[in-house]
Amino acid sequence: MRVQERIIEGLLWLSAVITIFVTVGIIWVLLSESLTFFSEVSVLDFLTDKQWTPLFAEKHFGILPLVAGTLLTTAIAISVALPIGLTIAIYLNTYAPAGFRATIKPMLEILASIPTVVYGFFALTVVTPFLQTFIPNLAGFNSLSAGIVMGIMIIPMISSLSEDAISAVPKSLREGAYGMGATRFQTAFGVLVPAASSGILVSIILAISRAVGETMIVAIAAGQQPRLTANPLVPVETITTYIVQVSLGDVPHGSLEYRTIFAAGITLFIFTFALNNLSFWIRKKYQEKYD
Amino acid sequence: MTNSELNRFKDKAFQGFGIFCTFIGLIVLAIFLINILIDGLGRIDWEFLNNLPSRRAHRAGIYTAWIGTLWILVLSSVVAFPLGIAAGVYLEEYGKKSRIANFLEVNISNLAGVPSIIYGLLGLEIFGRVFGLGGSLLTGALTLALLMLPIIIVTTREAIKAVPRSIRDASFALGASKWQTIWFQVLPASFGGILTGVILALSRAVGEAAPLIVIGALAYVPFAPTSPLDEFTVLPIQIFNWISRPQAAFATNAAAAIIILLLITFILNGIAVYLRNKWQKKVKW
């Protein structure tokens, strides 16, 4: 009996420890391939060259254009998702009746459950043609519509995490504000949002991390032209799109071109890893404690 | 306007804006769904579901794609469900205070935030090259299983956490061992919550295209896979492939395939929501 218990505990432990192997595996794969890459391409070139043309005859390995494309689409997505998502969070928390909130929350979650390839189709075939009717020089592939659609996708992420943070503000603070004669608007922006600011910040950081790693929407709608620009109307290429582009082609395994996807991958990984850990840190450090 | 009138006006204005924001996402979603239905619904027929891929849009079907999707779902579930649930049980019931459990917890939250395409790079190297499985169904399924693990672990833990202490104490008092308590009391009591998480993980996996493209799943597979070592494609990759073609007829195909993919996603999510509600109602401690 006791032996059996021990064996079972051991098996359960092993299942949990596998997750550590996954992390180690990710870091090992990214590091080993990119170290070989960086033995042929200098890190300085990688970080400062303004061109990314590994698949052309004249090769340049500057990651900046891909990073710029990634940050541009992310910035557009956040500027759509943040105001809308935060407004929804405040509205649902302080204005909406409880029944309405209970029905609308799962409906908003639908937005997050739709496969991203579907959003990509939407961006390319609906949003871009629609925007072109009043922005005539908008290219067929552009970061604007990809970013907007990505923003719609991450609305529920910001709204639900921020709403959780606002709900966690103790009732006494809210009632205190109402008791002083504050309107719901004043209570929301004068008391609740400041009190919940660390939780809201965490939701924004996680949304940024999600947008940076998003692949199919940008691969379909934002184009495949690495370009160091802040112009949302022209085609760009994100880090993730580049990895997809190379994976679809027939780049021989073990070549320098093949290794570029791991160098791009580790750049992406560093971004999301830093953002995720920043969000843990904020959550730990600024956890509001009311008693 | 006096100050208090202005404040009341701001309050009302924000309420209007709040309603607008709450519905804008849903309205956009509705426009999109209607658009897709208009484009694609007419294209769906028996042949579309049963035809092999073709260069000619009107003869192309999604047979290989949905068979591939089915294979991937079954194979990745077989790997991810037991592992994820076991890991969740360990973290919640056994290793609560230990330092390694703390580390595991941080590690799992980190894994949940890793972009799916990075999992693709992991699968490409480890399963595809080191294990020598190439771009097979097995590589794809193992890669997606790793992607699903954090979701399953987190929901398993939440479900187990909801089982009250008294149930465990009663079981121990009757002389049950730790594992007997978990197996006969805790797991049945948290079954609904675990199942919800498992289905949500599946619905996530069914829509993934990026990691599978990276491991080398092909857009064009002439025949449906018959063994786990065969090459394959899945619905999202087929859709991506059709979207990338210039001809309008392929866009219609893409819309039709999207309807099928959304149907699968919505059904899975619907089951998850239904189970969650049913379970929450039934279990009152």
**Interchain CB contact of B134 with A (< 8 Å):** no
Q: Which residues contact A118 (CB under 8 A, 6 or more apart)?
A: B207, B239, B258, B261, B262
Q: Does B285 score more than 60 pLDDT?
A: no
Does some domain include residue A50? no
Does some domain include residue A56? no
Within 10 A of B201 (CB to CB), how many other CB atoms are there? 28
- CA–CA separation, A102 and A93 (whole Å): 11
Tell me: do A102 and A217 sit in the same domain.
yes
Tell me: do A138 and A194 sit in the same domain.
yes
Does some domain include residue A264? yes
- CA–CA separation, B56 and B59 (whole Å): 6
Cβ–Cβ below 8 Å for B121 and A261 = yes
- CA–CA separation, A137 and A244 (whole Å): 27
**Residue B133: HSE in the Cβ half-sphere, 13 Å Cα cutoff:** 22
Cβ–Cβ below 8 Å for B114 and A209 = no
Contacts of A155 in chain B (CB under 8 A): 25
Does some domain include residue A176? yes
Within 10 A of A49 (CB to CB), how many other CB atoms are there? 17
Tell me: do A34 and A72 sit in the same domain.
no
* B210-268 pLDDT per residue, tens: 999 999 887 777 778 888 888 889 999 999 999 988 888 888 999 999 999 999 999 99
- In chain A, which among 19-38 make CB contacts under 8 A with chain B? 19-20, 22-23, 25-26, 29-30, 33
Distances (CA, A) of B233 to A171, B57, B120, B137, B239: 53, 17, 15, 9, 10
**Residue B229: HSE in the Cβ half-sphere, 13 Å Cα cutoff:** 3
Tell me: do A110 and A18 sit in the same domain.
no
Domain that includes residue A20, residue range? 2-40
DSSP state, B229? T
Tell me: do A143 and A263 sit in the same domain.
yes
**Interchain CB contact of B29 with A (< 8 Å):** yes
Tokens linked to A254: 């073990």
Tell me: do A36 and A68 sit in the same domain.
no
Within 10 A of A178 (CB to CB), how many other CB atoms are there? 14
Report, as an integer, the average pLDDT of B3-7.
86
Backbone angles phi, psi at A225, to 5 degrees: -120, 100
% of chain B residues with pLDDT over 70 = 98
pLDDT value, residue A246: 92
Cβ–Cβ below 8 Å for A95 and B29 = no
Let me know how long chain B is: 285
Does some domain include residue A55? no
Task: Mutate one of A13, A34, A205, A242 to test the B interface: name it (highest B CB count within 10 A).
Answer: A13
Contacts of A202 in chain B (CB under 8 A): none
Given phi > 0 = left and psi -120 to 50 = alpha, else beta, which region is A280?
Answer: alpha
* A40-73 pLDDT per residue, tens: 888 888 898 888 888 888 888 989 999 999 999 9
Cβ(B194)–Cβ(B159) below 8 Å: yes
User: Please, what is the average pLDDT of chain A?
Assistant: 91
- CA–CA separation, A61 and A72 (whole Å): 20
Terminal CA-CA length for chain B: 55
pLDDT value, residue A289: 58
pLDDT value, residue B101: 80
Q: Does A38 score more than 80 pLDDT?
A: yes
Q: Does B183 score more than 70 pLDDT?
A: yes
Tell me: do A196 and A70 sit in the same domain.
yes
% of chain A residues with pLDDT over 90 = 67
* B100-129 pLDDT per residue, tens: 888 888 899 899 999 999 999 999 999 998
pLDDT value, residue B217: 81
Cβ–Cβ below 8 Å for B240 and A110 = no
* A9-28 pLDDT per residue, tens: 899 999 999 999 999 999 99
Tokens linked to A169: 């503000």
Tell me: do A188 and A241 sit in the same domain.
yes
Let me know how long chain A is: 291
The alpha carbon dihedral of A121, A123, A129, A130 has a sign of: positive
Cβ(A71)–Cβ(A213) below 8 Å: no
Report, as an integer, the average pLDDT of A77-91.
96
Cβ–Cβ below 8 Å for B7 and A183 = yes
Tell me: do A139 and A208 sit in the same domain.
yes
Contacts of B208 in chain A (CB under 8 A): 115
- pLDDT band at residue B281 under the 50/70/90 scheme: low
Contacts of A206 in chain B (CB under 8 A): 113
- pLDDT band at residue B282 under the 50/70/90 scheme: low
CA distance A88 to chain B (A): 5
pLDDT value, residue B201: 92
Q: Which residues contact A46 (CB under 8 A, 6 or more apart)?
A: A38, A61, A62, A63, A263
Q: Does domain B48-282 have CATH number 1.10.3720.10?
A: yes
Does some domain include residue A76? yes
Tell me: do A177 and A36 sit in the same domain.
no
* Number of domains composing chain A: 2
Does some domain include residue A166? yes
Closest CA to B207 of A85, A235, A121: A121
* B16-38 pLDDT per residue, tens: 999 999 999 889 989 999 999 99
Given phi > 0 = left and psi -120 to 50 = alpha, else beta, which region is A34?
Answer: alpha
CATH number at residue A266: 1.10.3720.10
**Interchain CB contact of A106 with B (< 8 Å):** yes
- CA–CA separation, B58 and A150 (whole Å): 31
Tokens linked to A111: 């937005």
Tell me: do A90 and A6 sit in the same domain.
no
Tell me: do A262 and A162 sit in the same domain.
yes
Tokens linked to A79: 């500027």
Tokens linked to B223: 């025949």
